[in-house]
Structure 1
C-alpha cells in the first residue's frame, strides 16, 4: 500500500469508506466512534484478535457503552478454536457489504492489523478450497509433531515458502502445506495473482494514528491494569478450559499465556502482568513500524490525541 494509484481498477464495491489504523492503545476506536456518531456510520473491526469470542477484555473489544452509541460488526464472531485468516475476514466484510448496509451508512474500518487494510485496498487472490480431510490431517500433524518438524517438511517440498517463514510459525507453515497438497501449486503463486480492491479508493479516507511513544507506553500499562480489574483472569480461565492447541491464533493473544502461567503457579501474578505489558509494548512497536514502512502518502498521519473521548474504548 505504499502509494495506491487511483486507476480504473480502484473502484471497489464499498464507497465512502474510512480506514483508521494504529497501534494498540492508540485511541483509534475512540476516533472511529466519534466519526460514526458524526456521520451516521457503522464501525467494522479490522483487528485480527478482536474477531475472537471469549476474549472481550483481553483484546480490548468495544465496551457495552460504545456498542450502544454506534453499530459494530465483525467483533467476537469467531470461535477461538478457529484459525481465522485475512481471507476469511475479507469474505465476512463482503457479506456485510452485499447486504446493502454500507450504501446507507458509511463504514469505518478500525483496527491494528495491517494485512486487513491491505486486503481492503488491494484485494486478495482467490485461494483454493481445502478439503476437510487435508486440513484436519495437517492440523493433527502440527499438534503431534510440532511446527519445526513441519517446517522441515515444507522446506523439502516448497523451499521458497519455507525460507520466508519462521520455523515456529505453525499456522502459516500448515497453510502452505495444505494449499500445496490441495492444489498442486505453491501458495506464493496463489498470492501473486492480482486481486481487486474491496473499497473504492477514490472515495476512501485513510487515517493512521501515530502517538508519541512515551504516551503510548503509559496507555498500554494503564489499560492492562484495567483489564485485570475488568475480568481478564476469568477469560483466561475460560479459554484455558477449552484445551485448545497453543498454535491457534486466539491462544497467542497477549495476556493469555502470561496469566495462565501465573494461575498454574509458574510465576507470580505481578511478574505475569509485567511480562504482558512488555509484550504489548513490543507488539505496538512492530505495528507502528509496519504502518510507517507499508502505508503510502494516501494515509493521513495524526497524533494520538485525535478522537479521544472520556469513557471510549482505549484501543
Structure 2
C-alpha cells in the first residue's frame, strides 16, 4: 500500500500554506485536488499556489487543460493516480491537497462507474440537448436525482448526460453510487486524512478578505483576457466561482460592487457545502486552525499523526 496524506477543508482555510510547510518537512510532493486549478490561465480566481510556492515544493494537477477543454473526475483519477505512484517511486511522500470532494473521493475511495455505459443512449441524450437545450435535460435530472441536480451546473451537459445515463441503465441515481462508494476505502493507499477548519465567522471573514485581494491582484483583468482570447461564459470553466460573477459585471448585468458581494456570498455558501461534504468522512482528523498560533504549530501536530500512522517514531 502506498502511504498517502490527504489535506482537505473549505476554501480560504489555509490548506496551501500548511501543505507546503508539511511537504518541506517530510520530503513531500503535492497533488492538487481542485476542480478549477486544472485550468490554464485561470490563476487569480482559482487561488493557485504562486510560482514561488511551486518552486519550493513540486505541485501536480495544476494547469492541465485549457478552459475550453473538457475535464472529468475520471480523467482526474487516472492522471492523479499515476502521479501519486511516481512520487512514491521517487521515495517522496505524496500529499493530495484540495477542496473538491469528488476529486478527493476518486482517489481515496473505490469509485468506478466505467462499466455502466450505453453509447447509443448517450448519443440520444446529446441529440435531445441540441434539439431542446441543456435546460430540458437538466429538468429531467431534477426529477430522477435531485441531489446530483443541485451539484451540477446547468451548462455542464456532459455530467448531466452521464447522470441520466447511469439512472436509466441501473434504475438508481448516480448520487446513490457516490454515497455507497464514499465508505469504501481504496485498498491501494494507506491514507491519512487531515481536515482543516475554523470558526465559521472567522472563515467567512477570510473569504471576504480573499475576494478583495483577488480583485486587487487583477481578477477583472484576468477574466477580460480570457474573454478576449475566446473563452466564453458558456464554458464550464468560466462558470466557476469568481468568474461567472465578474462576467456578469463585464456584460453590464450588475455593478462591480454587486458582483463582488454576490461572489463573497456564493463563496461562503460553497465553503459551507464543502464542510458538509467532508464532515461525512469519519476518517478525517480535524484541526481548527484558529486555535493554533501559527502554521508551524499545526504542522507539528500533523507530523505527530504522520509518525504514528506510518511508524516513524
When normalised by structure 1's length, the TM-score is 0.78
Cα pair 2:207 2:267 within 8 Å, conserved? yes
For 1:140 and 1:30, the matched residues in 2 are separated by 46
In 2, distance between residues paired with 1:49 and 1:280?
A: 14
Does residue 101 of the first structure (1) align with residue 81 of the second (2)?
Answer: no
Among candidates 226, 230, 233, match of residue 213 of structure 2: 226
Note if contact 1:17-1:199 (Cα within 8 Å) is conserved in structure 2.
no
> 1:76 & 1:132 partners in 2: Cα distance?
30
Q: Find the partner of 1:284 among 271, 275, 279.
A: 271
Counterpart of 1:145 in structure 2 is 132
Q: Report how far residue 77 of structure 1 moved.
A: 0.8
- Corresponding residue SS for 1:49: coil
Q: Distance in 2 between matches of 1:199 and 1:276?
A: 39
CA positional deviation for 1:174? 1.8
SS at match of 2:81: helix
**Alignment map for 1:209-288 (pairs within 5 Å):** 209-241=196-228, 242-244=230-232, 246=234, 248-288=235-275
Name the structure 2 match of 1:299. Answer: 284
TM-superposed CA distance for 1:161, in Å, is 4.3
Quickly say closer, same or farther: Cα 1:186–1:264, change in 2 above 3 A.
Answer: same
Deviation string, structure 1 residues 60-85 (Cα, Å, up to 9, x no partner)? 01011111110000012122223422
CA 1:226 to 1:93, structure 2 compared with 1: closer, same or farther past 3 Å? same
Deviation at residue 179 of structure 1 after TM alignment: 5.8
Mapped partners of 1:180, 1:281: distance in 2: 31
User: What count of residue pairs does the alignment treat as equivalent?
Assistant: 285
Give me the whole-angstrom Cα distance separating, in 2, the residues matched to 1:239 and 1:133. 35
3-state secondary structure, aligned to 1:112: coil
Q: Displacement of 1:44 after TM fit?
A: 0.5
- C-alpha separation between the residues in 2 aligned to 1:245 and 1:178? 26
Identify unmatched segments of 5+ residues in structure 2. 297-313
Secondary structure of the structure 2 residue equivalent to 1:101:
helix
Mapped pair 1:165 → 2:152: no
- TM score, norm. by length of structure 2: 0.78
- Is residue 84–residue 94 contact of structure 2 (8 Å, CA) maintained in 1? no
Q: Deviations over 1:195-233 (max 9, x none)?
A: 8716423xx211001111122112111111111122211
Partner of 1:165: helix, strand, or coil?
helix
The whole-number CA distance in structure 1 between the counterparts of 2:200 and 2:137 is 38
**SS of the counterpart of 1:48?**
coil
SS in 2 for 1:17: strand
Root-mean-square deviation (CA), in Å? 3.2
Structure (1/2) with the larger helix percentage: 2
Structure 1, unmatched stretches of 5+, are 1-10, 310-315
CA deviations on 1:24-61 (whole Å, 9 max, x unpaired) are 00001111000110011001101112112221110101
Match of 1:197 in 2: 186
- Displacement of 1:164 in angstroms is 5.4
Q: 1:57 to 1:139 in 2, by over 3 A?
A: farther
Partner of 2:193, secondary structure, is strand
